[in-house]
């Protein structure tokens, strides 16, 4: 793996100080799964009251660890502590029976180390595909991981799950629920792609909120649609994408047991902020990205249609190369709208770059000057707003540009 320069879109302040969450400890080690001389395995240990929610890739060729985690959630967890073990360097994807055995042996090792039920252990892997997981390199380090668990190790854990990410991604929020302060902290990796393979996004978020599993799952699922499912780097979906949220239920509050509890909406909103921040950091670290672009679609038949059009624009190689070239090429946006297949009123369509009205009523705006558009495109953060002129549906999606560096990163022969 070659060294990648830190993205020009990296957050200025570096990795944020994440708050300690009661009932949660991390450890990270150098296991040499593939990389040498860097952290590549992290363990999160969660106390017995923890509930876990998650969302996973919709790929039809899901990796073995994803299938394992989905089974855990589908069956419901047992009492006792919970854990998440993650390695970078090998995605354990498309590895057949060997891959499943690797997951089982890793989970069993963690269960033995922590004295918890094996099906309370969540497993995630990111890295090269199709190569056998060197399970023993991970299991050999479980003792060390167990002995070094600490509430303060979140940044080390965030670094251990990186692949071609150019910086670790963290986010935190605090919220007061009926007078009780509650913390939320999380980190993510992706969608920089592990050389040589694929964009995997892994996200782990923790909170000390007291909440039941069904309510947490409902909130996480609802939030995912407008955060992690609203970003795209290159339209490719990983076999391994996983979002796992653990709530330790340690805050001094009665548990939220229903979405009708007014605190549920407040908590959901705070969690949404952390999820959106992490999602946007993932896009900002998109391979080769030099621009961060928010695309808002209004006036669609409904919200779903708006998102479809937004993603069609965000995934269009022609639109993305225009951003890279700082070209205010609204014609390519019209073409992308057209191919999305959703209703658009060609004669009422409007397009804005930032506040600049570029096109309206199916026609270039009479006041639009190309030099204004060109000047706007020089910014690092861009926004495009499209009104389809049909109804009131709307959505925002986020993406980055498509640059020479993307080709360089992905066309290099793996060696």
CB of 378 to a copy of itself, least distance (A): 11
Q: What is the CA radius of gyration of the chain?
A: 22
Of 9-17, 25-33, 275-283, 317-325: span binding a copy of itself (CB under 8 A): 317-325
Residues 107-126 touching a copy of itself, rule: CB under 8 A, are: none
Task: Determine the size of the site formed for a copy of itself (CB under 8 A).
Answer: 72
Question: Which 23-52 positions form the footprint of a copy of itself (CB under 8 A)?
Answer: none
Residue 264 CB, shortest distance to a copy of itself, in Å, is 32
* Least distance (Å) between residue 77 CB and a copy of itself: 26
Task: Reply yes or no on whether 200 is catalytic.
Answer: yes
Q: Binder to a copy of itself among 152, 236, 269, 367 (CB under 8 A)? A: 236
Catalytic position from the list 200, 224, 385, 399:
200
| Contact with a copy of itself (CB under 8 A) among 197, 277, 285, 387 | 197
57 binds a copy of itself (CB under 8 A): yes
* Site for a copy of itself contains 60 (CB under 8 A): yes
Q: Residues 146, 138: contact at Cβ < 8 Å?
A: no
The bridge status of strand 180-189 relative to strand 202-207 is antiparallel
Give every strand in the sheet of 24-29, ordered side by side.
Answer: 24-29, 41-46, 82-90, 121-128
Distance CA 56, CA 351 (A): 34
Q: Using the rule CB under 8 A, which residue among 341, 367, 369, 379 binds a copy of itself?
A: 341
Any contact of residue 344 with a copy of itself (CB under 8 A)?
yes
Beta-carbon contacts of residue 187 (< 8 Å; ≥ 6 apart): 18, 154, 155, 157, 158, 161, 168, 169, 170, 171, 203, 204, 278
Q: Is 4 among the residues that bind a copy of itself (CB under 8 A)?
A: no
- Residue 229 or 239: the one with the smaller Cβ distance to a copy of itself is 239
**Which part of the chain contacts a copy of itself (CB under 8 A), choosing from 30-38, 116-124, 196-204, 215-223?**
196-204
Residue with tokens 């969450």: 21
For residue 115, what are the CA distances in angstroms to 109, 112, 131, 325? 10, 5, 30, 56
- Token digits for 163? 């692949």
Rule CB under 8 A: say whether 317 interacts with a copy of itself.
yes
Contact 88, 129 (CB under 8 A): no
Whether 283 contacts 398, CB under 8 Å = yes
Name the residues annotated as catalytic: 200
């Amino acid at each position: 793996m070659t060294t990648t320069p830190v993205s020009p879109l990296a957050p200025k302040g570096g990795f944020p100080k994440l708050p300690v969450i009661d009932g949660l400890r991390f450890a990270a080690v150098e296991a040499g799964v593939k990389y040498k001389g860097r952290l590549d395995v992290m363990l999160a240990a969660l106390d017995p009251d923890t509930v876990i929610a998650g969302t996973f890739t919709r790929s039809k060729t899901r990796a073995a660890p994803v299938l394992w985690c989905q089974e855990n959630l589908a069956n419901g967890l047992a009492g006792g502590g919970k854990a998440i073990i993650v390695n970078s360097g090998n995605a354990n994807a498309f590895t057949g029976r060997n891959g499943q055995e690797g997951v089982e042996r890793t989970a069993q090792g963690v269960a033995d180390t922590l004295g918890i039920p094996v099906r309370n252990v969540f497993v995630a892997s990111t890295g090269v595909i199709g190569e056998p997981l060197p399970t023993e390199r991970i299991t050999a380090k479980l003792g060390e991981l167990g002995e070094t668990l600490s509430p303060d190790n979140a940044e080390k854990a965030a670094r251990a799950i990186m692949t071609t990410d150019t910086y670790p991604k963290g986010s935190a929020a605090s919220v007061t629920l009926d007078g009780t302060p509650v913390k939320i902290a999380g980190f993510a990796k992706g969608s920089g792609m592990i050389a040589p393979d694929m964009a995997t996004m892994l996200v782990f978020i923790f909170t000390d909120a007291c909440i039941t599993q069904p309510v947490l799952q409902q909130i996480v699922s609802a939030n995912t649609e407008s955060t992690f499912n609203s970003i795209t780097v290159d339209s490719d979906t990983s076999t391994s994408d996983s979002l796992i949220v653990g709530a330790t239920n340690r805050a001094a509050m009665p548990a939220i047991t229903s979405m009708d509890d007014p605190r549920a909406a407040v908590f959901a909103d705070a969690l949404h902020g952390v999820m959106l921040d992490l999602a946007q950091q993932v896009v900002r670290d998109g391979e080769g990205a030099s621009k961060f672009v928010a695309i808002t679609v209004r006036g669609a038949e409904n919200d779903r249609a708006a998102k479809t059009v937004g993603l069609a624009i965000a995934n269009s190689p022609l639109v993305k190369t225009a951003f890279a070239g700082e070209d205010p090429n609204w014609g390519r946006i019209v073409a992308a709208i057209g191919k999305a297949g959703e209703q658009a009123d060609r004669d009422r369509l409007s397009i804005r770059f930032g506040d600049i009205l570029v096109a309206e009523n199916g026609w270039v705006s009479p006041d639009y000057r190309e030099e204004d558009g060109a000047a706007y495109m020089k910014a690092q953060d861009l926004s495009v707003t499209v009104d389809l002129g049909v109804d009131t549906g709307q959505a925002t999606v986020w993406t980055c540009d498509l640059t020479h560096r993307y080709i360089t990163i992905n066309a290099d022969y793996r060696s």
